[in-house]
Homo-oligomer: A and B are copies of this chain.
Amino acid sequence: MNNYSGQHLVGVVGFRGYSGDELVRLLARHDGVEVVLLEHRSDSEGHLTPLGHKPPKTIAAETSAIRQEGIELVFCATPPEVSIALARDLLAAQIKVIDLSGAFRLRDAETYSRWYRVRHGAPELLGEAVYGLPEFYRGQIREARLVANPGCYPTAANLAIRPLIDAQVVDRNRGIICDAKSGVSGAGRKPSLKTSFGEVSENFGAYGFAEHRHVPEVLQNSGLGEREFTFTAHLLPIKRGILETIYLRTQRLEKPVDFLSIYEEAYSEEPFVRLYAPGKVPDLHSVQHTNFCDIGFVFDADSQRATIVAAEDNLVKGAAGQAIQNMNLMLGFPETKALL
């Protein structure tokens, strides 16, 4: 149902968190939708509001109210357990859902329990959920009622790795190493010692290894086995951005342009994946505040060693931007609308 201006109504739960806040900001530029804020719990402070400035309409995050409002699609920027409860109700009321948590990213309930250390509350939805990485699942996303927006780390990792796996040029026996570094907003807005200024500023360290919840998302979408993929997550003293340095060995590639051509084949038509000349790599300034994932690499044909650098804004292509890209597909807008 559309509003009087012919816009689709979409709701955002969790709009005070960093991803939700970014969603609201980006959606404000999208003239095809009107945003309604869905108040779930007032557990966090909002922004100071200037006089005379009218914030978006806010209603309770309850399915009946949402339905009555005429909202067609809801973004859940909430913890997995909240997302599971919301999604079940909303889908039952014929409201589409794009979930930004990890709740629906893994296809298998057992895998979910292992990595999230809790039983999944709505396993019947896992088969229906579509993994919202448009570069690989565009067709399914268009038809989906429930889209699991990918994790920030897996978005960059899968975009960087999967074309090489598909082209069968990776020496999988030697394994792929992903040394990942993220800005602090990836940890959410909830105060904690680990994300306090005094602990993060002028600091840097590793905080997640093989047990990180984003690992199975990479495995599921790349086809790699656990022993073939080594992952480390580090915390950068910046607010936003993810950069992953990925190490692997290839087989049968003769020169850097052969390596490049695999990426070009995969992405030359993609609006949000940008490539660089061999030997050139992006940094975080290249991608912050954009929906791009940038990929560059250094390749040494003699030793078949490749070092790939993939960069994205964890709040945009790694969260809110990609969610809007998915919404554009689900509601029939041009895929890049409000994102360029």
Which one of A94-102, A114-122, A136-144, A197-205 is at the interface?
A197-205
| Minimal beta-carbon separation of A161 from chain B (angstroms) | 16
| A335 to B: closest C-beta gap in Å | 17
Partner pick for A48 among B44, B174, B276, CB 8 A cutoff: B276
Chain B residues in 8 Å Cβ range of A282: 48, 50, 205
Find out whether the CB atom of A274 lies under 8 angstroms from the CB atom of B197: no
How near does chain B come to A310, taking the closest CB pair, in angstroms? 11
A230 CB contacts on chain B under 8 angstroms: 247, 305, 307
Looking at the complex, which one of B18, B202, B243, B283 makes contact with A239 (CB distance below 8 Å)? B202
Residues of A within 8 A of B (CB-CB), count: 71
Q: Which residue of B lies closest to A51 (CB)?
A: B275
Q: Is A281 interfacial (CB-CB < 8 Å)?
A: yes
Residues in B neighbouring A201, C-beta threshold 8 A: 184, 197, 201-202, 237-239
The answer to whether A236 and B239 touch across the interface, beta carbons within 8 angstroms, is no
Tell me the A residues contacting B by CB distance below 8 Å.
Answer: 18, 44-45, 47-48, 50-53, 174-175, 177, 179, 181, 184-185, 189, 191-193, 195-206, 209-210, 227, 230, 232, 234, 236-241, 243, 245, 247, 264, 268, 274-277, 280-286, 288-289, 294, 298, 300, 302-303, 305, 307, 309, 311
